[in-house]
Amino acid sequence: MSQDDRYKEIIKREMAKLKKPVKLKVFTSQRVQPDGTKIRACMDCGQFMVLLRVYEENSNGMLTIEELSIDDNPEFAKRYDITRVPTILFIDNNGREIIRYLAAPKGGEIQPFIQTIFTFAGMPNYYETTIRQNLDRIPPSTIKIMMTETCPYCPQVIAISNSFAIASEGKIRTVVIDIMANPDIGQYYDAAGVPYTIINDQKTLVGMVGPNEILKALIGGNIRVQY
């Protein structure tokens, strides 16, 4: 089986297990052609949407991917500060952005993306109790995770950070950034290593980090634990 087929198999097998509905918004850019029809104007958007439809089509109708053109939805794009396409947003019932992907969920990123969809749908979240117990000590935070497609440890840091964000009732937001696709962001942070995790544009965690290290950095002190 080719690697691509193997990945498709994983998406098919796992997405079929989704039991609750999830809606994601994907921003692309579209251009009107002389004959009045629309085509996607951004280079990567076509393939990106094909990939996301694989997730959607295998979810027994549970996952809905809503494609929004920034040109047709300027208000919405402005509200969520969409500055590049394609962008995936996980938005909660209160309209709060919880997770943003500036990265395609392919290759090693399939597993954390699926886990994020399931946790977002309400699947029990392993980290929830401890996150809630420490929530009063966590300031409103953004975790930016710089990743590349080939990085072996990135998927795990992403899975953990996204689970934290979902458990945090809107206090933590994650942004997953493929720095090969968005080299300017990598350069802005001088990142030449992945995973490169930045908390509130202040603290940087380089390389493989476990959930305890991320939480400690968010709190800025020791973790309170009550089993």
Site residues (vs another protein, CB under 8 A)? 14, 108, 111-112, 114-115, 118, 123-127, 129-130, 148, 150-153, 155-156, 159-160, 180, 186, 190-194, 196, 204, 206-208, 210-212, 215, 223, 225, 227
CA distance 209 to 59: 31
Q: How far is the CB of 142 from another protein (least distance, A)?
A: 18
Strands 97-102, 172-178: parallel, antiparallel or unpaired by DSSP?
parallel
Closer residue to another protein, CB minimum distance, 60 or 150 = 150
Closer residue to another protein, CB minimum distance, 175 or 214 = 214
Closer residue to another protein, CB minimum distance, 72 or 188 = 188
Q: How far is the CB of 71 from another protein (least distance, A)?
A: 33
Place of tokens 């997770």: 99
CA distance 21 to 29: 26
Burial class (CB in 10 A: 0-12, 13-18, 19+), 170: middle
**What SS3 class is residue 127?**
coil
Q: How far is the CB of 51 from another protein (least distance, A)?
A: 19
Closer residue to another protein, CB minimum distance, 97 or 178 = 178
CA distance 41 to 49: 13
Burial class (CB in 10 A: 0-12, 13-18, 19+), 33: exposed
**What SS3 class is residue 98?**
strand
**Are 151 and 112 a contacting pair, CB within 8 Å?**
no
Closer residue to another protein, CB minimum distance, 105 or 108 = 108
Q: How far is the CB of 77 from another protein (least distance, A)?
A: 31
Single-letter amino acid code for the residue at 119: T
Closer residue to another protein, CB minimum distance, 32 or 225 = 225
Q: How far is the CB of 115 from another protein (least distance, A)?
A: 5
Q: How far is the CB of 97 from another protein (least distance, A)?
A: 23
